[in-house]
């Protein structure tokens, strides 16, 4: 069955939660921000560093209640290892963002600009900034992982150096600006971190609208960010689409950043209904305000054939399954299509390893609105879909099985699994023919991902180190990394890893037109404050010495996550041995 549309399927608003903020309260919040915008611009780097220190303390203090509330709303049992999930994707990420911003601003005070571990010209002439690992703790916690930001090919080194962190340099002129951040409803760190980027990378005061799905976390974010609220640099409001329209059209809002679906972006930029469709078709924007966005993605996982043994297959069965299972599949970078070489003898064994992992996954409550309807659209389209758990019924509407659709047809380019983001616990597998060589397969895989799959946010490649000993395959892998049109490309791990690194950029591949926005425009995180970004590339070991904490099979994540929060907040290295011991036990 083919798709009726592309992008992210419709997501209804929840019917309860924190009441919408009244229009007069919104007007008052924006008036305060307008008044304080010049003050923020005049706040020097030492004063911003002091604010960041306060923010670290308050976020750490708010973390237990924040993470507990997030997990409870998703139906996670208090004794489940999954309790670690919302610690890590919430306050731990925010704490890391704050500390990395502190580092960059401290380097501006000391040297005049942020100092990534390296900023140099690669052999192809492209400027590359190595941004991970940035210290000994990174090396200990993520051994053999590296992260780099590649700038656009036409950017020379002297321009890169001149523009890095420039808004904080003496003599730089910024206009007082009020930014609207429309927060995401799935991962609780997204809205706060988007707000931090507007404040510290773009020099704008922020009105953050919480998404109705996780509006219950707004008070926890407000407590964590109390120093910014106190100074009038941040305001938090609540409401759904109606409040969103009031805000996007408000004359006191200068710029907009949204994390959500392409349909939300279209509604903001072109409008809704027939009039919106006509504007989009004609390329006529409804608003002339700048709009940046991080949207959905049909995220691919490209498997490179190689001499995988049984342990390799088991590890990457968990690896691939975890890319779907995390957060119940309600992630814009959940794995959606596993791409394999039809001629690889171990293709079926890898699929069996994924199935084994899914069978052991803890059932999840489909907390995100409309999940059951979206799941049914995919399973109705693909009767061969395999369920790992019980399907919803009238007596049990609050259950949803993780679902694999194997053997998708690569030639059916308008298949719903290729064109549409399910935003629930569904993914598929497709095999590509390339009988002559692995290099030919990689060429075909890149073309398939770039030209058939919807979205430009992130992609993964899994490649055995022994495969890279073959120069032809090694060259083909590097060509694939270069040519994949995604904002992040990750080798051997989930393509969400750059989101968690924070020093890397997070956002779509540049160049999307507003009329075909795909995964969005602009970047966030990027704590070294680089400009002119093309993509982030992260590489990790094929089988790391410690089980990644984001694996759904990690038994100690709930105990490990609060310790990670304290380590990130305090930097106390004496905590590292205990954390490593817990991590190794996995």
Burial 289-308 (b: 16+ CB within 10 A, else e): bebbbbbbbbbbbbbbbbeb
Full 3-state SS string of 500-517: HHCCCEEECCCCCECCEC
Contact predicate 544/312, CB 8 Å:
no
Mean pLDDT for the stretch of residues 325-351: 97
CA angle in degrees (0–180, nearest 5) for 154-159-161: 130
Helices vs strands, H then E, count in the chain: 21, 21
Residues 183 and 303 in one domain: no
User: What is the spatial distance between Cα 240 and Cα 215, in angstroms, rounded to a whole number?
Assistant: 10
For residue 495, is it within any domain? yes
How do residues 220-241 score in pLDDT, each as one tens digit?
A: 999 999 999 999 999 999 999 9
Q: Please, is 546 exposed, middle or buried when counting C-beta atoms within 10 Å of its C-beta (0-12, 13-18, 19+)?
A: middle
CA angle in degrees (0–180, nearest 5) for 226-66-217: 75
Tokens of 231: 């100074």
Predicted confidence (pLDDT) at residue 149 exceeds the cutoff of 50: yes
Residues 317 and 445 in one domain: yes
Contact predicate 188/211, CB 8 Å:
no
Predicted confidence (pLDDT) at residue 355 exceeds the cutoff of 70: yes
- Residue owning tokens 């656009």: 152
User: Mean pLDDT across the chain, nearest whole number?
Assistant: 95
Residues 101 and 197 in one domain: yes
Nearest Cα neighbor of 103 from 140, 142, 127, 138 is 138
What DSSP line would sit under 174-192, residue for residue? Answer: ----EEEEE--SS-TTHHH
Nearest Cα neighbor of 542 from 438, 465, 461, 476 is 465
Picking from 268, 294, 320, the residue at the C-terminal end of a domain is 294
User: What is the spatial distance between Cα 37 and Cα 230, in angstroms, rounded to a whole number?
Assistant: 14
User: What is the spatial distance between Cα 61 and Cα 63, in angstroms, rounded to a whole number?
Assistant: 6
Residues 400 and 495 in one domain: yes
Residue 488 DSSP code = E
CA angle in degrees (0–180, nearest 5) for 118-121-122: 100
How do residues 433-459 score in pLDDT, each as one tens digit?
A: 999 999 999 999 999 999 999 999 999
Q: What is the largest CA-CA distance in the chain?
A: 67
Residues 275 and 363 in one domain: no
Tokens of 37: 């915008």
Contact predicate 301/462, CB 8 Å:
yes
Mean pLDDT for the stretch of residues 105-123: 96
Could you tell me the CATH number of the domain that includes residue 174? 3.40.605.10
Question: Given this model, what pLDDT does residue 174 score?
Answer: 85
For residue 568, is it within any domain? no
Predicted confidence (pLDDT) at residue 217 exceeds the cutoff of 70: yes
For residue 327, is it within any domain? yes
Q: What is the pTM of this model?
A: 0.97
For residue 77, is it within any domain? yes
For residue 144, is it within any domain? no
How do residues 397-434 score in pLDDT, each as one tens digit?
A: 888 999 999 999 999 999 999 999 999 999 999 999 99
Predicted confidence (pLDDT) at residue 462 exceeds the cutoff of 90: yes
Contact predicate 425/389, CB 8 Å:
no
Q: Which of 163-172, 203-212, 540-549 has the lowest mean pLDDT?
A: 163-172
Residue 283: CB atoms within 10 Å: 10
For residue 548, is it within any domain? no
Question: Given this model, what pLDDT does residue 74 score?
Answer: 94
Predicted confidence (pLDDT) at residue 1 exceeds the cutoff of 50: no
**Bridge-partner residues for 406, per DSSP?**
none
Q: Which residue range forms the structural domain that includes residue 271?
A: 7-116+164-294
Picking from 294, 310, 335, the residue at the C-terminal end of a domain is 294
User: What is the spatial distance between Cα 177 and Cα 443, in angstroms, rounded to a whole number?
Assistant: 45
How do residues 293-334 score in pLDDT, each as one tens digit?
A: 999 999 999 999 999 999 999 999 999 999 999 999 999 999
SS3 91: helix
Question: Given this model, what pLDDT does residue 13 score?
Answer: 84
Predicted confidence (pLDDT) at residue 2 exceeds the cutoff of 70: no
For residue 384, is it within any domain? yes
**Bridge-partner residues for 305, per DSSP?**
none
User: What is the spatial distance between Cα 281 and Cα 296, in angstroms, rounded to a whole number?
Assistant: 21
Question: Given this model, what pLDDT does residue 140 score?
Answer: 85
Mean pLDDT for the stretch of residues 364-393: 94
User: What is the spatial distance between Cα 106 and Cα 100, in angstroms, rounded to a whole number?
Assistant: 10
User: What is the spatial distance between Cα 297 and Cα 458, in angstroms, rounded to a whole number?
Assistant: 7
Mean pLDDT for the stretch of residues 367-376: 94
Residues 409 and 287 in one domain: no
Question: Given this model, what pLDDT does residue 586 score?
Answer: 65
Residues 290 and 308 in one domain: no
User: What is the spatial distance between Cα 431 and Cα 427, in angstroms, rounded to a whole number?
Assistant: 14
**Bridge-partner residues for 132, per DSSP?**
147
Predicted confidence (pLDDT) at residue 4 exceeds the cutoff of 70: no
Residues 237 and 102 in one domain: yes
Residues 242 and 342 in one domain: no
| Spacing of C-alpha 327 from chain mean position | 12
Residues 366 and 282 in one domain: no
Number of domains in the chain: 2
Residues 320 and 456 in one domain: yes
Question: Given this model, what pLDDT does residue 493 score?
Answer: 98
**What is the share, in percent, of the chain residues with pLDDT greater than 90?**
90
CA angle in degrees (0–180, nearest 5) for 172-176-180: 120
Picking from 294, 312, 332, the residue at the C-terminal end of a domain is 294
Residue 162 DSSP code = H
- φ/ψ of 100, rounded to 5, equals -70, -35
Predicted confidence (pLDDT) at residue 196 exceeds the cutoff of 80: yes
Give the start-end residues of each E strand in 204-297: 205-209, 234-237, 255-259, 291-294
Burial 410-446 (b: 16+ CB within 10 A, else e): beeeebbbbbbbbbbbbbbbbbbebeebbbebbbbbb
Using alpha carbons, list the distances in angstroms from residue 310 to 314, 315, 444, 548: 6, 9, 27, 19
For residue 575, is it within any domain? no
Torsion of Cα atoms, 449 then 454 then 460 then 463, to 10°: -20
Residue 541: CB atoms within 10 Å: 14
Could you tell me the CATH number of the domain that includes residue 418? 3.40.309.10
Contact predicate 160/138, CB 8 Å:
no
Residues 283 and 188 in one domain: yes
SS3 127: strand
Residue 2 DSSP code = B
User: What is the spatial distance between Cα 106 and Cα 111, in angstroms, rounded to a whole number?
Assistant: 9
């Amino acid at each position: 069955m083919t798709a009726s549309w592309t992008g992210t399927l419709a997501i209804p608003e929840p019917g309860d939660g924190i009441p919408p903020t009244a229009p007069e309260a919104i007007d008052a919040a924006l008036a305060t921000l307008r008044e304080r915008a010049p003050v923020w611009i005049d706040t020097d780097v030492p004063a911003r560093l002091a604010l960041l220190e306060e923010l670290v303390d308050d976020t750490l203090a708010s973390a237990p209640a924040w993470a507990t509330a997030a997990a409870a709303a998703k139906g996670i049992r208090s004794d489940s290892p999954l309790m670690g999930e919302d610690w890590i994707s919430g306050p731990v990420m925010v704490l890391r963002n704050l500390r990395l911003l502190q580092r960059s601003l401290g380097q501006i005070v000391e040297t005049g600009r942020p100092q990534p571990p390296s900023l140099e010209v690669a052999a192809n002439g492209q400027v590359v900034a190595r941004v991970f690992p940035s210290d000994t703790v990174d090396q200990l916690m993520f051994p053999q992982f590296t992260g780099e930001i590649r700038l656009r090919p036409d950017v020379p080194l002297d321009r890169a150096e001149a523009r890095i962190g420039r808004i904080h340099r003496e003599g730089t002129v910024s206009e007082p600006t009020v930014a609207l951040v429309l927060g995401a409803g799935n991962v609780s760190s997204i809205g706060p971190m988007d707000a931090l980027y507007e404040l510290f990378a773009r020099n704008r005061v922020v009105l953050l609208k919480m998404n109705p799905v996780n509006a219950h976390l707004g008070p926890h974010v407000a407590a964590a960010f109390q120093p910014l609220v106190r100074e009038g640099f941040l305001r938090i409001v609540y409401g759904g689409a109606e409040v969103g329209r009031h805000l996007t059209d408000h004359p006191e809002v200068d710029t907009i950043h949204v994390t959500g679906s392409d349909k939300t972006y279209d509604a903001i930029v072109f409008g809704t209904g027939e009039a919106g469709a006509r504007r989009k078709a004609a390329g006529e924007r409804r608003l002339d305000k700048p709009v940046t966005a991080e949207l959905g993605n049909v995220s691919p996982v490209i498997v490179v054939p190689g001499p995988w043994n049984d342990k390799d297959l088991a590890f990457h069965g968990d690896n691939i399954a975890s890319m779907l299972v995390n957060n119940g599949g309600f992630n814009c970078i959940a794995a959606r299509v596993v791409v394999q070489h039809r001629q690889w003898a171990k293709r079926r064994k890898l699929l069996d390893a994924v199935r084994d992992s899914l069978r052991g996954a803890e059932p999840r409550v489909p907390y995100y609105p409309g999940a059951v309807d979206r799941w049914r659209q995919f399973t109705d389209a693909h009767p061969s879909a395999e369920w790992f758990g019980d399907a919803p019924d009238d007596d049990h509407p609050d259950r949803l099985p993780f679902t694999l659709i194997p053997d998708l047809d690569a030639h059916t380019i308008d298949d719903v699994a290729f064109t549409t983001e399910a935003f629930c616990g569904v993914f598929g597998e497709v095999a590509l023919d390339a009988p002559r060589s692995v290099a030919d397969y990689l060429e075909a895989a890149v073309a398939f991902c770039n030209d058939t799959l919807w979205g430009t946010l992130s992609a993964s490649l899994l490649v055995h180190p022994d495969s890279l000993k073959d120069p032809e395959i090694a060259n083909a892998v590097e060509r694939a990394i270069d040519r994949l049109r995604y904002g992040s490309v990750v080798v051997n791990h989930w393509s969400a890893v750059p989101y968690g690194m924070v020093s890397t950029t997070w956002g779509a591949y540049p160049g999307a037109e507003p009329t075909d926005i795909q995964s969005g425009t602009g970047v966030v995180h990027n704590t070294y404050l680089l400009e002119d970004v093309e993509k982030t590339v992260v590489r990790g070991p094929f089988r790391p010495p410690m089980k990644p904490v984001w694996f759904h099979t990690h038994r100690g994540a709930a105990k490990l996550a609060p310790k990670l929060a304290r380590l990130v907040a305090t930097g106390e290295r004496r905590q590292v041995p205990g954390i490593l011991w817990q991590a190794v036990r996995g």
